[in-house]
Structure 1
Amino acid sequence: MGVTPVNGGRGRGRIVIGENDPSLTRYAGLAVTGELARRLRLVELIDAELSVERRARPVKVRRRGVSPGQLVVSIAESQLVGGEFFSDLEEVRADQAGAGLRTVGATPSAPAALQRSKDFRRVHCQRVERACARVGEHLDRALGREREEPVTIDLDATGIEVFGRRKQGAARNRQGQMSYAPHVAFWAQRGRALTSELVGGNREKLSGTECARIATRALSLLPAGHGPAIFRIDSAYYQLELLARLRREGSPFTVSVPRSQAMWKALAEIPEDAWQDAIDMPGAQVAETTYRPQGWKHEPLRLIVRRVPFTAAEIAKRNGSRRLKTIHPEQLELALDGKLASVFGYSFILTDIHWQPTVWIEHFHRHRAQIEERLKESKLGQALRHLPSGDEHANRVWLTAALLALNLTAFCCDLCPAAGASGKAPDNAPLRRAAKTLRNLMFTIPARIVRTGRRLILRPPAGYRHGDVLKTTLDAIYALGP
């Protein structure tokens, strides 16, 4: 005869919510960016840059509360842990236990952050970009990177749909959506945003003067003595004034050229035996000719053409796809009518790089997709999927903070053993980890804070699988020195 448990017929009883534990933090992993920002003097450099700006009124005069640099960094920290609105700063602000771990312990309230963001002007955001560039230079120097390494700068834009008629500066894009269009220049090798410009959604294509201004600003943010800087440019930036400015600056370029009658005419000049297989793109072929854009006062430029075959069946499946626009309109019509079994889609790349073979240039320019990945990461991984304020100046600060958060994750990946950029990761590890992955690895882990002597100990919960990654990353930060 078995023994009957005394409480065998009962459940586990009611769940009772106890008192908050003041030693527990929701965001223990912000210690990583906190320690990194302190060693690189991020807040101090932002405030120093803002203090010398004379083209606009100071963001803040009184010393009470957080400084302008602390404001921008606190918004970025909120975005790092998943914040999507100004109101999400309250979640970080409420984490008093983790205040000493963060870069900005005294996180401002949401209303205060929004109100102060409205006092920023475009030139102030550009000062933040300059400070971030100085921080990146400091990190590269600490990691022993060669300053003379070649630099690739990617220019591209993205659309951010917003809602409401009171969104200052927003406009309807080609699809009729109310939106903004941030234009961003990225340093490809580092995965960092250099500079940005926020305009209405109806200006996804900027004037030549505006394009040249962004390119010049991006070049000015590179470290002194940097290696040759090559620009990879989207077709929306195909402007003669931009190309002329890059020539004056001594920066070579590759630029996607819109398909036009001039391009189809140039294509007809390429003999069939000139085509050769592309690198790492099965079925694709490349060839080249020369082309001089109207108004270009220098030598004829190299026009690299890539062609990709499409069967009639593939075309039928892709009906409405953007890739069908790469096919010559007459050829596409014949294929749709069943009069051709296959046709080619063409892409055109204009360049002044004369020392590299055709296939290298096409392969190099194709990797412009890296900026699309970084822009996607800023929207899906960080908080750039929308711009939350009705005030254009506050939205520009939000954009600046989102790109700062993106750069902070790039800095972390330079040190984190789970990312290939650190040089310590397994061979199959991605170069940089996505924001969601970094949150799971580090940023959003809870931990109990134990203070003993001069040490501060973080005790993550049982089952946390990435303790070695967190410890090694912090050790790498401490190795940078004070």
Structure 2
Amino acid sequence: MKVSHTPAAVSAAFDDVNLIAYAGLVPVMRLAERCGLPRLVAGKVRLTGARNGAGAAADAKVTSIVAGMVAGADSIEDLDVLRHGAMPVLFAGVRAPSTLGTFLRAFTHGHALQLHAAHRRFLAALATHTPLLPGAGEKAFIDVDSTHKRVYGRRKQGAEYGRFKGVRTLHPLLATICTPASRPVIATVRMRRGKAADSRGAPKLVSEALATAVEAGCTGLRILRADSQFYNSGVIAACRRTGARFSVTTGMNPSIKRAIHSVPDTAWQQITYPTAVPDPDTGELISGAEVAEIPQYTAFTGRQMSERVTARLIVRRVRDLAKPAVVGEQDELFPVWRYHPFFTDNPAPTLQAEHEHRHHAVVEQVIADSKAGALAHLPSGDFHANAAWLTLWAMTYNLLRATGALTSAFHAKATTATLRAHLIHVPARTARSARRITLHLPNNWPWQQAWTHLFDNVHGPAG
């Protein structure tokens, strides 16, 4: 493809007041209104006293930030993408970036919790109005993980040198919900200081995530999955209090090693992966492993009796190709193994439980998505403003997932970048006739049918 005209024959002018760059914001924000986002924010978020000016019309400010994030904004300044062309014709109450920045900086810890309460209710409404979590009444997985987000401003509150040498970070903690047939959505998030331990606040977050899952329609079997940093009695107790199951990687402590060494060689079952999977320790691709189970393993034996838990210990082992095999007297090769145990009360058969536990890695897709979008930056020097920004990203992420679920089977599992390219970043020209506004979109748009289906769904009679 090449430009069909000479440079002298082409000119450009930013002068069309009837054009918008993101026509997909119309059905997406209509869906947000149908699910009660402005009402939920107005009812939950209350900035008072000296902060009252920043808190006035909190619903309009929150929806402005969410709309900007839907369009791809990853900083406060980028929220200005909402103020162009015919946007004032289609949307009322759009706020300037300076106003939105003042609003975020007015947040305290309590206000961040209020916003998060609105987030939880909004997720439940999205799950009610769209096929967001198909199969949630039978089985759902709640995945917990943390991530470090590098920051650069030396005056950013809470930023510290943590896990990575010479790198200052903030340390968000998040929990997601998915089913065997859906992509994950975000149940709860927490912003933490850079040096916060991985499991700091995890039991409370797990309790909240499990409660949110029920509100979102996960009334069947609920299984919490987590890595070894969350293997502690508090997390397991939170699961048991709410009637949920757990599947948590344990790491290799002396008690686990003794249990693994007690497994007879005949107990190991061969498992072959249809496609090669990365080894969690080395990153090498492996196509097979062996799995065994210790049916009764008691964890946390150093704690009081009420905190000890007896459940299944399932172990996967793979050949350690980095270490040479040992040659015995009969020239028989004895392989060296690496072990990956996890502690679970998942009632599924051993191989299925192992497969479902490995699927915990799906939470990494959400983390990668965040850093390619609104969390590319944590835009404020104020810790609580960044905590609010994190929760607003979670709202936006769930809204886009619901948008995809309402559009088509393909878009229900598409990435956020694909949803933006197909459904949001569509230019349109507005035209008025008989007190109606018509959006004229590009002819031959490849995803015209999907976009029209979404538009008709959210502009039809409310369900």
Q: What TM-score do the two structures reach when normalised by structure 2?
A: 0.84
SS across alignment from 1:464? coil
Structure 1 residue 451 corresponds to structure 2 residue 429: no
Counterparts of 2:223 and 2:209, CA distance in 1: 12
Match of 2:462 in 1: 481
Report 1:153-168 matches (<5 A): 153-168=142-157
After superposition, the C-alpha distances for 1:121-157 in whole angstroms (9 at most, x for unaligned) are 2333333333233233334334577774433211111
Displacement after TM superposition at 1:179 (Å):
0.2
Q: How does 1:65-104 map to 2 (within 5 A)?
A: 67-92=57-82, 94-102=83-91
Matched, 1:413 2:404: yes
Q: Write the letter of the residue equivalent to 1:291.
A: Y
**One-letter amino acid of the structure 1 residue matched with residue 169 of structure 2:** S
Q: Which amino acid aligns with 1:455?
A: R
Residue aligning to 1:429? none
Secondary structure in 1 aligned to 2:237? helix
Q: Distance in 2 between matches of 1:158 and 1:345?
A: 25
Residues 28 and 98, structure 1, Cα contact 8 Å, conserved in 2: no
2:20 matched to 1:28?
A: no
Alignment partners' CA distance in 2, 1:273 and 1:110: 65
- SS of 1:27's partner is coil
Contact kept in structure 2, 1:238 and 1:256, CA below 8 Å: yes
Matches within 5 A, 1:154-303: 154-176=143-165, 177-189=167-179, 191-207=184-200, 210-224=201-215, 226-278=219-271, 280=273, 282-289=287-294, 290-293=296-299, 294=301, 295=303, 297=306, 298=308, 300-303=310-313
Give the Cα–Cα distance (whole angstroms) in 2 for the partners of residues 383 and 404 of structure 1.
Answer: 11
Unmatched 5+ residue regions in structure 1?
1-9, 316-331, 422-431
Would the aligned equivalents of 1:304 and 1:350 in 2 still touch at CA under 8 Å?
A: yes
CA distance in 2, matches of 1:46, 1:33: 17
Matched position secondary structure for 1:367: helix
Give the partner amino acid of 1:230: I
Name the structure where strand makes up a greater proportion of residues. 2
Say yes or no: does 1:352 pair with 2:358. no
Structure 2 counterpart of 1:118, one-letter code: R
C-alpha distance in 2 between matches for 1:251 and 1:59: 43
Q: Give the counterpart letter for 1:385 in structure 2.
A: A
Aligned length: 429
**SS of the residue aligned with 2:100?**
helix
Q: What letter matches 1:307 in structure 2?
A: R
Taking the aligned partners of 1:129 and 1:279, their CA distance within structure 2 comes to 42
Distance, in Å, in 1 between the alignment partners of 2:49 and 2:334 is 66
The residue aligned with 1:3 is none
Q: Secondary structure at the match of 1:270?
A: coil
Partner Cα distance (1:352, 1:418) in 2:
32
Judging changes above 3 Å, is the alpha-carbon distance between structure 1 residues 307 and 120 closer, same or farther for their aligned structure 2 residues?
Answer: same
Distance in 2, matches of 1:264 and 1:120, equals 48
CA gap of 1:146–1:59, structure 2 versus 1, over 3 A, is: farther
In structure 1, how many angstroms separate the alpha carbons of the residues matched to 2:52 and 2:361? 43
SS of the residue corresponding to residue 111 of structure 1 reads: helix
1:150 aligned residue: 139
CA gap of 1:359–1:459, structure 2 versus 1, over 3 A, is: same
Conserved? CA contact 2:247–2:357, under 8 Å: yes
What is aligned with 1:306? 316
Q: Secondary structure at the match of 2:213?
A: coil
The amino acid of 1:370's aligned partner reads V
Contact 1:232/1:368, CA 8 A, preserved across alignment: yes
Moved more, 264-273 or 470-479: 470-479
SS at match of 2:66: helix
- Contact 1:72–1:397 under 8 Å retained in 2: no
CA distance in 2: counterparts of 1:271 and 1:242, whole angstroms: 31
- Give % identity: 29
| TM-score, L = length of structure 1 | 0.81
Determine whether 1:365 maps to 2:357.
yes
Quote how far apart the aligned CAs of 1:181 are: 1.0
How far residue 42 of structure 1 moved from its aligned partner, in angstroms, is: 1.0
The one of 362, 372, 376 aligned to 2:368 = 376
Tell me by how many angstroms 1:18 deviates. Answer: 3.9
Shift of 1:221: 2.2
SS of aligned partner of 2:72: coil
Q: Select 1:110's aligned residue among 94, 97, 103.
A: 97
CA–CA distance in 2 between the matches of 1:141 and 1:17?
A: 46
Deviations 1:422-467 (A, max 9, x none): xxxxxxxxxx211221121121121101122243222123453221
Aligned to 1:135: 122
Does the C-alpha gap of structure 1 residues 372 and 19 become closer, same or farther in structure 2, counting only changes over 3 Å?
A: closer
Instruction: Summarize deviations over 1:287-326 as a string: whole Å, max 9, x none.
Output: 0114222226455221100112243xxx3xxxxxxxxxxx
| Change in CA separation of 1:419 and 1:131 when aligned onto 2, cut-off 3 Å | farther
SS at match of 2:192: strand
Counterpart of 2:450 in structure 1 is 469
How many angstroms apart in 2 are the aligned matches of 1:91 and 1:168? 27
Taking a change above 3 Å as real, the CA distance of residues 11 and 436 of structure 1, as seen in their structure-2 partners, is closer
Q: 1:159 to 1:417 in 2, by over 3 A?
A: same
Among candidates 361, 376, 385, match of residue 394 of structure 1: 385
Aligned amino acid, residue 201 of structure 1: G
Cα 1:16–1:333 shift into 2, 3 Å: same
Aligned equivalents of 2:293 and 2:124: distance in 1? 38
- 1:212, distance to aligned residue in structure 2 (A): 1.1
Retained in 1: the 8 A contact 2:411–2:419? no
What is the one-letter code of the residue matched to 2:451?
L
> Could you report, residue by residue, the CA deviation over 1:338-369 in whole angstroms, capped at 9, with x for unpaired residues?
x978432211110123x321112111111101
User: Within 2, Cα distance between the matches of 1:17 and 1:80?
Assistant: 27
**Secondary structure of residue in 1 paired with 2:437:** strand
RMSD, aligned α-carbons: 2.8
1:267 to 1:138, Cα distance in 2 relative to 1, 3 A: same
SS of alignment partner, residue 187 of structure 1: strand
